[in-house]
Structure 1
C-alpha cells in the first residue's frame, strides 16, 4: 500500500468528531452523583460535608473558577503538580505540536528523541548525576529507586523516616511513615527500616548493619512541612558513604523550583546518588516521573544487552509526557520561576511569622520558597484552651478545618491540612503567583486566624458542627 493510500484512509478516519466540551456541558449536573455511584463515594461525602462541592469548571494559572463563575486562589496546585500554573499556553502549544506531528510514539523497539532531549535537559540542572530513567509517576520513581539500590549494592534494606510520604504502591507504601495508609493492606516489603527524621544517631545505627541498600528521604517532608536540621542531610550523606549505602533524595514534591532552588537538596549543599522528581515535571497535563542517578548504579541494573529491558514502564517515555517535561523546564527557566518562588516565599514566610507573634494559636511557621507550613497549637488563654481541647478530643487535627473551611468559603482561598491528624496547614501554590496574590493570601489568613481567637464566634460554631459530624461518624464505625 502506498503512502498516498494510507493518507487517504487516515483522512477518512479523521471525519469522526467527539465533542468533549459538549459532553461536559451536558453531564455537569451529574458530577458528584457519578463519583458517588461509580467511584469514591467517601470523597464526595467529605466535599459535601465541608462545603467544597462548588464544581470547579475552569483553571487558569494559579486560579480556579467554579460553576457560579467565582474565582479562587489555589494553594494546593494539585498537591504541587501545577508548578507553572494550570493550562500554561507554552505547555498547550507543545502538546498540540506533538499531536499534530504524527510522531511514531512508543515504538518500543526504538529509542525516543524527545526522551533523550528531556534527559539531557534534566541532567543539565543536576550535573553530578549521569543517567535518567523515566516513569509514569512519583510512586513509580520510588519503586525504581528501591530496585536500583538493591541491584547496585547487593543489599535489601531500605531506611526511611517517620512522617515520610513516598507514595502508595507497595514498595512506596513500605516507606510510608503514616500508619493510616498501611492499615488493612497486609504484609509490606520486608527489609524496610523506619527511623526518626533529623536523627543522625538513629541513621548511623541502622546503616551500621551494612545491610542497607539506600536511605530514601524527602529533603523537606511533605506531611507537615518538616524541616531538616542544618547539618542533617549533609551528615546523612556522609553516613551513607561511610557504610556503602546509597543516598536518595525524594524531590517529587520539593523539586523543580518549589523551594527557591531547582532541587531542595541544594539548600544544604548535598549531592545524592539518586534524585527522584515528578509532579511539576508533568506541567499538570501528562503524568511523568524520573530517576536521576549515577552511572555506576544505572549500569549495575542495565548491565548487559540481555538486561536492556530488565526494568521499564510501557508508557513512561511517551511523546506527550516528554514534551510536557521539556515545555515545563522551558517555562521555569524563561519566566524565572525559581527566583520568583524564593522571593514570594520569603515574603509570605515573613508575613506568617509576624502572625505567629500576634496570634497565640499559631505555634510555628516553617518552609522554604513556596512550600510553607503554618502549624497551630494549644493556646494559653483558658477560654481558647477549653475549646481547643474539646475539638482535639473528638478528632486530632480538627482545628485546622476551622482555618481551611472559612478560607475557602469566605475568602475563596483553597488550602488544606498537611496530613492526617496534623495541625499544619500547608501552602503549595503555583510558582507563578503575584504580589497581588500574596496580598490576597495574607489578608485571608489574617482575617481567619483572628476570627479563630474569638470565643464564642462563627469559627467555633463551625467547630461544634464538625465535632458533631466526627462523633456521628465514630458512632457509625
Structure 2
C-alpha cells in the first residue's frame, strides 16, 4: 500500500489532479468543470487574489459563496490560531474556553435578547439544529419556507429548501415542510395553521438568484410570527457578518428573529463552523432541563480552533469597519453594473444588497433559432447562461464567479469585503467587453466550446 504524502500532493500536476477527481471523488462534477474550462489547478491565494500553476493571477469575485469576507488566508485569523496552538481542541468532559467567548460575542452582535448559541460544522447543520429547536420548543411540526430558497442539502435542510431539482430521488423528506412565494406575506398568512412551528427565510435569497425582498417584508413576517406564536428563523449564513452592508442583514429592518443561523464567513474562510443563536425562552423550553441538555450535540462543534478563528474573524470585521465598506462599495458596484444593464440587451436585471450581487440574463425565447430548436435554446439558456458568462470571465478576463444554484441564469458577484474600487472597476469593464464581443446567448454559448454546448443539449 502506497500513500501520498503532503510533499507529493503539492507537486501534483493538473492532469494528475483531474485523474484523481475522476477516480476517487465526483467524476460528473469533474466533467462539468472540464467542459467549462474550470479545471485549473490553483496553488496560491491571498486576499482577493488566487494564482494558478502557470503563475496567472485571478480576482476572486466568488468568495467561497460568501465564506471569504476577510479574503483568502487572513493573517489575523492565523495569528489567533498560533496563540491557541497547544490548547485542548476537543475536550468534551469540560466547559470550553473559546466557544464560551465566541458565544458571548455572538450575543453582543445580535439584536434583542438572543443569547444561547449552539456550534456545529456547517450551515446545513445550523439549519437542522434551528428547525429541531423550533419543533421541540413549540411541540408543533409544520415548517414554512420560501420557493427558490436554499438552506442546505442534508435531509432536514433540504426539506425546507425551495428547488425540486435537488430533492428528486430523496423522497420522502422530512414531512410537513411547505414552501410559499418569497416576498408574499399574504401567502404566508394563508399557509399558517395551528400546527405551524416555524418560518425560515433568508434576508436576501442567495441561491434563488440574489432576490432582495420588498421593503418591510421581513418586519411583516416577524409580526405575523409573533402574533401566531410561531418561531421565526432567519438564515444569515450567507448574508451575515457584514456581507449586505450591515453586520447582520436583519438590521436593515431592525427586527429580532427568534433564531439566527450562521456559517460560511464565521470561520474566517479558514475553519468550517456553523452556529445558531436563540432566546433563553426557546432554549429553556427545548433543552433547559439537565436531562435534555444532550438532546442535540456535535462532536466537533465548538472546538477550540474553529471558535478561536471565529473570535478573530468577528473582531477583524468590526475593527476594519467591513460592513460599512461593503455598503459603500456595494452601492458603487451595483450602480456601475446598472450602467451595463442600460447598454446590453442580454442583461435582464442587476440586483443585490451590499456585496451580495446578482446579474440575471435574458433568454432568447423570441429568436428564430429558438423556434427552430422547438424551445430547446431557451431551455438551455435558462440553465447555462450563467455558466457560460462565468467561463468567459474566468478564462478570458481572470475573474472567478459562478451561477446561483436555484437560478442558474444568474451569476453572483460576492467578493471578499476587503475588495477595492479598482478591482470592482476591472470586473465591470471585463463584463462590458465580454458582452460587447458575445452580445447574445447563441454567440456566447458556442464561443464557450462546441463540446460543452453539445453536451448540454444532449443532457436536456
Q: State the structure with bigger RCO (CA 8 A, min sep 6), 1 or 2.
A: 2
Aligned to 1:216: 200
Give the gaps of 5 or more residues in structure 2.
Answer: none
Q: 1:149 to 1:456 in 2, by over 3 A?
A: closer
Instruction: Using the TM superposition, name which of 67-76 and 413-422 deviates more.
Output: 413-422
1:384–1:453 contact (8 Å) kept in structure 2: no
Tell me, in whole angstroms, the C-alpha distance in 1 between the residues paired with 2:365 and 2:161.
34
1:231-250 aligned within 5 A:
231-250=216-235
Tell me, in whole angstroms, the C-alpha distance in 2 between the residues paired with 1:278 and 1:176.
17
Question: Are positions 1:303 and 2:288 aligned together?
Answer: yes
2:364–2:441 contact (8 Å) kept in structure 1: no
Over residues 257-316 of structure 1, what are the superposed CA-to-partner deviations in whole Å (9 max), with x where a residue is unaligned? 010111111112221111101100011121111111111011112221122211110110
Tell me, in whole angstroms, the C-alpha distance in 2 between the residues paired with 1:151 and 1:318.
25
1:51-450 aligned within 5 A:
51-99=37-85, 102-128=86-112, 129-207=114-192, 209-223=193-207, 224-378=209-363, 391-394=377-380, 396-420=382-406, 422-450=408-436
Question: Are positions 1:35 and 2:21 aligned together?
Answer: yes
Over residues 362-413 of structure 1, what are the superposed CA-to-partner deviations in whole Å (9 max), with x where a residue is unaligned? 1111100100011111469967987996632445332223321111111000
Instruction: Using the TM superposition, name which of 434-443 and 253-262 deviates more.
Output: 434-443
How far apart are residue 53 of structure 1 and its match? 1.2
Tell me, in whole angstroms, the C-alpha distance in 1 between the residues paired with 2:185 and 2:43.
47
How far apart are residue 337 of structure 1 and its match? 1.1
Tell me, in whole angstroms, the C-alpha distance in 2 between the residues paired with 1:455 and 1:291.
42
RMSD of the alignment, in Å?
A: 2.2
Tell me, in whole angstroms, the C-alpha distance in 1 between the residues paired with 2:135 and 2:458.
47
How far apart are residue 338 of structure 1 and its match? 1.0
How far apart are residue 441 of structure 1 and its match? 0.9
Tell me, in whole angstroms, the C-alpha distance in 1 between the residues paired with 2:408 and 2:442.
24
Tell me, in whole angstroms, the C-alpha distance in 2 between the residues paired with 1:183 and 1:331.
41
Q: Which has the higher Rg, Structure 1 or Structure 2? A: 1
State the TM-score, normalized to the length of structure 1: 0.90
2:111–2:256 contact (8 Å) kept in structure 1: no
Tell me, in whole angstroms, the C-alpha distance in 1 between the residues paired with 2:416 and 2:182.
27
Tell me, in whole angstroms, the C-alpha distance in 1 between the residues paired with 2:200 and 2:149.
9
Over residues 207-250 of structure 1, what are the superposed CA-to-partner deviations in whole Å (9 max), with x where a residue is unaligned? 2x121111000011012001111121111111101111011100
Tell me, in whole angstroms, the C-alpha distance in 2 between the residues paired with 1:222 and 1:131.
26
Tell me, in whole angstroms, the C-alpha distance in 2 between the residues paired with 1:390 and 1:160.
31
SS of aligned partner of 1:43: helix
Over residues 416-465 of structure 1, what are the superposed CA-to-partner deviations in whole Å (9 max), with x where a residue is unaligned? 11125532111111111112211211111111122222698566443755
Give the gaps of 5 or more residues in structure 1.
Answer: 1-17
Q: 1:409 to 1:105 in 2, by over 3 A?
A: closer
Aligned to 1:10: none
Tell me, in whole angstroms, the C-alpha distance in 1 between the residues paired with 2:251 and 2:444.
44
